[in-house]
Chains A and B, each alone.
Chain A
Amino acid sequence: MTTNQSPRNSPRAVAWTRRRAALGKVWREFAANKSGLFGLAALVVIVLVAVTVPLWLDREVLSVTRATGEILAPPAGDFWLGTDHAGRSVLALTLWGARISLLVGISAAILSVAIGTIVGMLSAHFRGWTAAVLMRVTDFFLVLPALVLAIVLSTMLERGVGTIILAIGVTSWPSTARLVRAQTLTIETRPYIERAHALGGGHMHVLSKHVLPAVLPLVLANTTLAVGSAIISESTLAFLGLGDASTVSWGGMLKSALDTGAVTAGAWWYLLPPGFAIVLIVLAFTLCGRALETVLNPNLRER
């Protein structure tokens, strides 16, 4: 390889060719997974809607003072999914609510996976007391009920989207840390890591150049799954009244519905859309994540 220096065959180009091929292989395997594809398609649609909704649905629809509908009117005419307690369209609220759910879900999942990955890798790489301390911290967070901790955090801190993200992020990382630690441990026993050490690679080099790329696929699959549970946590917190009252979210909609007596009033159109939206988005992320996990983690492949 070193003899041929033409651009096409430079180490970089070779690496990229290899990566492209690997990616193609991943995609083919992923595409073979029907449910994974379904999840991905649903995700693409939801994300597209959430991102573009301000372009085709005026924020005006969220205004209570300019709401035009009757209070808690069943689905009909202009309001395909009925109206809420202020006479706003439940459909519009559900569409707008997707934004906050996605934002919080993805941000919190990334935060949680980032913490988990760093803690997991460090605790596997540096055995001894570092690992002991990190793992005990992980255990501590693992045994603490995440929801309770998140409730406490969001009560103590300033209200807002940031707080919710933080509360979910810092309470849901231990399982990722465990997972990454296990993966790191297996990878570090491989000969090429030993070779890197022998060639003088420091901790930073080994962790960032060799271990991280090797655990990344798993982390990616894990993130996809974590988004789902983060969205549920967000909805739960909002349902418990700990969310950001000034933004429309699905959990918040369910809370308003319950608070204003929609259940007794039989206003199913106020309850089902946000409920189904949560189910759909979590299902999409879960299906995607499972499929990715099967593709990327050889251990899970069927023999």
Chain B
Amino acid sequence: MVRVVATGKQGRKRSRRGPAIGVVAAALGMAMLPAVAVPDVAPVAKAEQPQGKVLRVAVTQDIKKLNPFQGTSLVDTQVGRLMYEFLVIPNATDSTPEGALAESWTPSQDGKTWTFKMRKGVQWSDGQPITAKDVEFTYNQIMTNPGAKDANEVAVASFESVKATDPETVEIRTKFVNVAVIGSVGEIPIVPEHVWRDKVAGIKDFKNEQTPVVGSGPYVLSGVESGRSVTLKANDKFWRGRPKVDTLQMVKYENTEAASQALIKGDADLVYNLTPAQYRTLEKTSGIKASAGRNRRFTEIIMHTGAKKADGSTWGTGNPVLADVEFRKALDHAVNRKTLIEKVFGGYAEEATQLIPPVYPDWTFKLSDDKKRNFDIGKANSILDAAGYRKGDGGARLDKQGKPITLRLLSRNDRAEQAQMAEYVKEWFGQLGVTVDHKSIASSQLNDDTTSGNFDLSFSGWSVGPDPDNMLGQQLCKLVGTELGDTNICNPEYDRLFAQQQAELNKDKRKETVQRMQQMLYDNVSAIMLSYDKLLEAYRSDRFTTFVTQPQNGGIINNQSGYWGYYGATPVGETPPAGAPKAAEQTNSDSDSSGLGTGGWAAIIIGAVVVLGGLGLLGARRKRVSADDRE
């Protein structure tokens, strides 16, 4: 100690040298010793003394909005699903709508009125009965109160009125025939009128954090530590039966690396959004079971195709070559999805062709092999030659004005896999003579740039709901240049088909229309579709035997469009909760050898992954997130 306190020049020198070496040590330390990062996090997990059987979920996105009228990010809506029950919920098996607060529902003759019969004897966590009045109150807030629109405005867009005709019956009238009503209803959490009645004036700023929060889902909110953790307790009054986990804690970690280390050390019980490298290690770690779940999301590169906004105004500053479908085709031919999936996603993904992922087999796009655009640089080059894009000096591809083509490509700096994919894309497009100017930027900036049209190419991706209506609706002409617009392409014929599928009561005919719509998008190269990503997750198998996945066979635990994963969590030595669907045969045959090779899991583990997670992408796209998470 004494030496350190040397005075005079030596002292000054020391202090100047100190920080420099400190930083090196820190840089190295960070690199070499994962343990360094962990102590920071451990106290967080212990911040609140949880009681009974605890499930600690490591999340990397901030849980910001617990008000279900406001929460739009994937993690916010996850918590919302746990706190408040819905009229109808996508089931665990295959995401088809299943009764929750509503026991049954019937459409009227003209297809415009839906009557929901409420389940009897269901109570809020404070013991009050849940009635049709609560449903009417919640829906009317979203439809009429400007402060309550943020999260679910789109879901009620086609609704004309919602009325409780008696305490057990709700009637929803729509403006036009809309088969997607049930899907929409499956996204709206119902809040208790007796608690929220006096909150309606300031609903936009109401945080909903004064615990205990009265709810109706499997868990109720019991504690919030801003930016660190959210604690929920089992709801004794949950109509399906109390969950077997007493306390559910969502703990914020800085990144998946810290989360993985916490799982290994036993500070966390469930982590997700793992990278392939983390996944492979956790797979081999004893006491941990890893799963690559079939997810409901896709990754794409959107292009600025020069479509005009709904009011006819031009939009942003896209490179005009992208308005040419031949040029887009060439780009699509130059992307090797197999390589991306193998190298970037570690094999945990499938090649994407269109918007609806294969977890929804009814709606996913079936592309015939002869129409498929395969990876073929030579073909891409000849398409460009044929379309009149000459090669200039040094092999640079020239546009019609004779200027070398440079395309800006945006990726999010918090998504490692996007930066990785950008490196590949840059090299492939380089082989066409097209220069790519890749910029990795903050997610909020990317959202601004893509919404205002100041980009040429940008990575994007969405989680898709069980009903294709919403995802397909994001390609409509009226959404060009808005937060909700996905590919920002405009095709009146597509819009016509969209209205047609919405009013189509015959499911087979509707399927056919949905196929045609996706074929149309594919032919038009509305976007460069990349992958249907798997969600890589891992949990402590020495503490939990099962989680219910969605879809039940090889699906995901987190980021579901339901509460099945957390509700069905079964601690070691317990039986699954009465109301939970049976978990697929992944069960607990070995709890300490990490499930390596155990039949069920091994079979489930097929595909691909999101490097830093669905969470991230959605979260950063803020408002898009809302849509992202909206089915």
Contacts and interface: CB of A to CB of B under 8 A. Distances in A.
Contacts of B34: 263-264
A263 B257 contact: yes
B9 A282 contact: no
B277 A264 contact: yes
Interface in A106-153: none
A246, A266, A267, A300 pick with most chain B CB within 10 angstroms: A246
B270 to A, nearest CB: 16
B440 A264 contact: no
A66 B441 CA distance: 26
Contacts of B20: 228-229, 232, 282, 286
Q: How large is the interface on A (under 10, 10 to 19, 20 to 34, 35 or more residues)?
A: 35 or more
Interface in A42-101: 63-66, 71-72, 85-87
Contact of A272 (B32, B274, B277, B420): B32
Contact of B32 (A235, A236, A271): A271
Q: Is the interface of B mostly helix, strand, loop or mixed?
A: helix
A254 interface: yes
A279 B28 contact: yes
Contact of B278 (A242, A261, A271, A282): A261
Interface in A245-282: 245-246, 251, 254, 256-268, 271-272, 274-276, 278-279, 282
A235 B26 CA distance: 12
Interface string B458-491: 0000000000000000000000000000000000
Contacts of B281: 261, 264-266
B72 interface: no
B275 interface: yes
B428 A264 contact: no
Contacts of A263: 31, 34, 257, 261
Contacts of A229: 20
B396 interface: no
A274 B32 CA distance: 11
B203 interface: no
Interface string A3-26: 000000000000000000000000
A217 interface: no
A159 interface: yes
A33 interface: no
B276 interface: yes
Interface string B5-41: 0000100000011001001100110111010000000
B282 interface: yes
Contacts of A245: 411, 413, 419, 422, 438-440
B315 interface: no
Nearest to A253: B31
A35 interface: no
B339 A275 contact: no
Contact of B27 (A66, A241, A254): A254
Nearest to B256: A261
Given A64-B424, A87-B343, A258 B440 contact: no
A200 B423 CA distance: 63
A241 to B, nearest CB: 5
A303 to B, nearest CB: 12
A210 B440 CA distance: 48
A299 interface: yes
A239 B414 CA distance: 12
Interface string B418-452: 01101110111000000000111110000000000
Given A256-B416, A263-B261, A299 B339 contact: no
A64, A86, A241 pick with most chain B CB within 10 angstroms: A64
Contacts of A228: 20
A261 B9 contact: no
B611 A235 contact: no
B264 interface: yes
A118 to B, nearest CB: 21
Contacts of B275: 259-261
A278 B24 contact: yes
B280 interface: yes
A258 B30 contact: yes
A239 B27 contact: yes
Nearest to A256: B416
B255 interface: yes
B34, B257, B261 pick with most chain A CB within 10 angstroms: B257
A235 to B, nearest CB: 6
Interface residues of B, number: 50
Given A65-B428, A241-B413, A235 B27 contact: yes
A276 B27 CA distance: 10
A159 B261 CA distance: 32
B427 A65 contact: yes
B24, B413, B611 pick with most chain A CB within 10 angstroms: B24
A155 to B, nearest CB: 7
A250 B257 CA distance: 19
Given A159-B440, A263-B261, A299 B32 contact: no
Contacts of A267: 277
Nearest to A160: B439
A245 B413 CA distance: 9
A86 B24 contact: no
Contacts of A265: 277-278, 280-281
Contact of B277 (A64, A66, A254, A260): A260
A260 B414 CA distance: 12
A208 to B, nearest CB: 28
A64 B27 CA distance: 26
Given A64-B427, A65-B428, A264 B9 contact: no
B618 interface: no
Nearest to B413: A241
B439 A159 contact: yes
B615 interface: no
A238 to B, nearest CB: 11
A159 B20 CA distance: 25
A301 to B, nearest CB: 11
B427 A272 contact: no
Given A261-B260, A261-B281, 13 more contacts: A64-B343, A66-B427, A225-B16, A245-B411, A245-B439, A254-B30, A260-B275, A260-B416, A264-B34, A264-B264, A268-B32, A275-B28, A299-B9
26 contacts: A64-B343, A64-B427, A85-B277, A85-B343, A86-B343, A86-B423, A87-B343, A175-B16, A229-B20, A232-B20, A232-B27, A236-B27, A245-B413, A254-B27, A259-B419, A259-B612, A261-B277, A263-B31, A263-B34, A264-B281, A265-B277, A272-B31, A274-B31, A275-B28, A282-B20, A300-B9
Interface of A: 63-66, 71-72, 85-87, 155, 159, 175, 225, 228-229, 232, 235-236, 239, 241-242, 245-246, 251, 254, 256-268, 271-272, 274-276, 278-279, 282, 286, 299-300
